[in-house]
């Protein structure tokens, strides 16, 4: 193991020597690549944050804010849909009621069994 | 797969008190590692332009996605990104060569018998024959060592370079390679033995 390590360290020295004598064009290219990478390194300063108590509040609540807002939006949607359906139902009932009331036929007629029987009979005879 | 491990590790919140890398520290880190990274990429892809592109991609990915990580995590993350970028290059090359082979087989049958691997091994052989067996210049020794490192199996080369050239410990190397610490030890040991045997065969004593 010791021999292995010694050989590895000697190889490392030789390899390091090689990197020191890298051709200038490639060294320049690597330097430019590094500058480009550093220009892209904007993540840590991209968002400003508050210090002290404000920072604590931000860290504690704002990180979960999106999930919370999505949950609130979902609940609001479900409740809204429920009430909207109720309004729709009420409007339909209202239309039926007004149709019944405005009709020449009195609403009581629909509850009369004799009238139902007469309707069936007259429809069969018309066929 | 090893990639989820990286994501899990990289998304881990920094431990309280652990210092995050500043722009200057990232710059120093990249400056210290860029030449070795270029050589590593060269060992793998053997094309200067492609190797430089790979290093640039790896640096960009590190700076964009992991630039705010703690300083002591950067070597492992960078190595992981570098090895993945090299693998991406292999994949792209494979797809390209598949299409090239397809089109060349459709267009012409010239040079059907030529095998790039044969040319490569012949090149290596001519270098070996051309090199003196006595006291070699350091540049020649370097060239031979680099050639032998190129010839190592990929995983052995990765483990050897990360462990001994990048000075990463076994745990870091294992995390970067996505394998067990035992595998790292085995890869390193095999790589060192292969290199020792190859150098001995060429009459080089370090």
pLDDT at A117: 87
SS3 B165: helix
Residues B22, A44: Cα–Cα separation, whole Å: 8
Judge whether A77 and B103 are in contact, CB under 8 Å.
no
Residues B73, A2: Cα–Cα separation, whole Å: 28
Which residue of B48, B59, B65 is in closest CB contact with A34? B59
Residue of A15, A27, A60 to mutate, interface with B, max B Cβ within 10 Å: A15
The answer to pTM > 0.90 is no
Using an 8 Å CB-CB cutoff, list chain B residues near A46.
Answer: none
On the CB side of A63, CA atoms within 13 Å amount to: 6
Chain centroid to CA A71: how far?
A: 10
pLDDT at B68: 78
For B67, nearest residue in chain A (alpha carbons): A41
B38 interfaces chain A, CB cutoff of 8 Å: yes
A36 contact partners, CB below 8 Å, separation of at least 6:
B56, B59, B60
pLDDT tens, A28-80? 999 999 999 999 876 554 445 566 666 666 666 666 778 889 999 999 999 99
B128 to chain A nearest CA, in Å?
18
pLDDT tens, A78-89? 999 999 999 999
Q: How many CB atoms lie within 10 A of CB A98?
A: 10
A4 contact partners, CB below 8 Å, separation of at least 6:
B188, B189, B192, B193, B196
Compute φ and ψ for B20, nearest 5 degrees: -85, 150
Residues B159, B182: Cα–Cα separation, whole Å: 11
**Cβ–Cβ of A15/B62 closer than 8 Å?**
no
B139 contact partners, CB below 8 Å, separation of at least 6:
A21
For B145, nearest residue in chain A (alpha carbons): A11
Judge whether B88 and B58 are in contact, CB under 8 Å.
no
Size of interface A-B (CB pairs under 8 A): 101
pLDDT at B10: 42
List of chain B residues with pLDDT < 70:
1-19, 105-137
DSSP string of A33-45, one letter each residue: HHHHHHHT--HHH
Percent of chain B scoring above 90 in pLDDT: 51
Across the strands, what pairs with B70? Answer: B20
Tokens of A54: 């404000």
Residues B18, B70: Cα–Cα separation, whole Å: 7
ipTM over the 0.85 cut-off: no
| pLDDT for residue A23 is more than 50 | yes
């Amino acid at each position: 193991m010791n021999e292995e390590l010694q050989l590895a360290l000697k190889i490392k020295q030789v390899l390091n020597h090689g990197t020191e004598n890298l051709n200038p064009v490639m060294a320049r290219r690597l330097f430019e690549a590094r500058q480009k990478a550093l220009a892209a390194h904007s993540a840590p300063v991209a968002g400003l944050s508050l210090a002290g108590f404000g920072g604590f509040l931000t860290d504690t609540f704002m990180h979960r804010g999106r999930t919370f807002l999505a949950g609130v939006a979902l609940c609001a949607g479900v409740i809204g849909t429920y009430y909207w359906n109720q309004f729709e139902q009420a409007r339909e009932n209202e239309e039926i009621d007004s149709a019944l009331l405005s009709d020449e036929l009195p609403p009581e007629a629909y509850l009369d069994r004799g009238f139902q029987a007469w309707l069936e009979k007259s429809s069969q005879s018309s066929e | 797969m090893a990639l989820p491990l990286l994501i899990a590790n990289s998304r881990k919140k920094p431990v309280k008190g652990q210092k995050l890398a500043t722009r200057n520290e990232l710059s120093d880190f990249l400056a210290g590692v860029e030449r070795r990274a270029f050589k590593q990429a060269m060992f793998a892809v053997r094309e200067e332009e492609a190797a430089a592109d790979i290093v640039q991609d790896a640096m960009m990915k590190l700076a964009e996605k992991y630039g705010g990580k703690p300083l002591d995590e950067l070597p492992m993350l960078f190595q992981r990104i570098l090895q993945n970028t090299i693998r991406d290059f292999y994949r792209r090359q494979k797809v390209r060569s598949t299409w090239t082979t397809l089109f060349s087989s459709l267009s012409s049958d010239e040079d059907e018998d030529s095998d790039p691997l044969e040319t490569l091994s012949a090149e290596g052989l001519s270098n070996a024959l051309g090199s003196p067996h006595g006291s070699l210049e350091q540049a020649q020794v370097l060239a031979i060592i680099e050639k032998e490192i190129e010839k190592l199996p990929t995983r052995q080369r990765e483990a050897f370079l990360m462990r001994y050239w990048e000075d990463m410990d076994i745990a870091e190397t294992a995390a970067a390679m996505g394998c067990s610490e035992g595998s790292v030890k085995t890869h390193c040991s095999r790589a060192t033995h292969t290199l020792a045997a190859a150098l001995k065969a060429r009459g080089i004593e370090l």
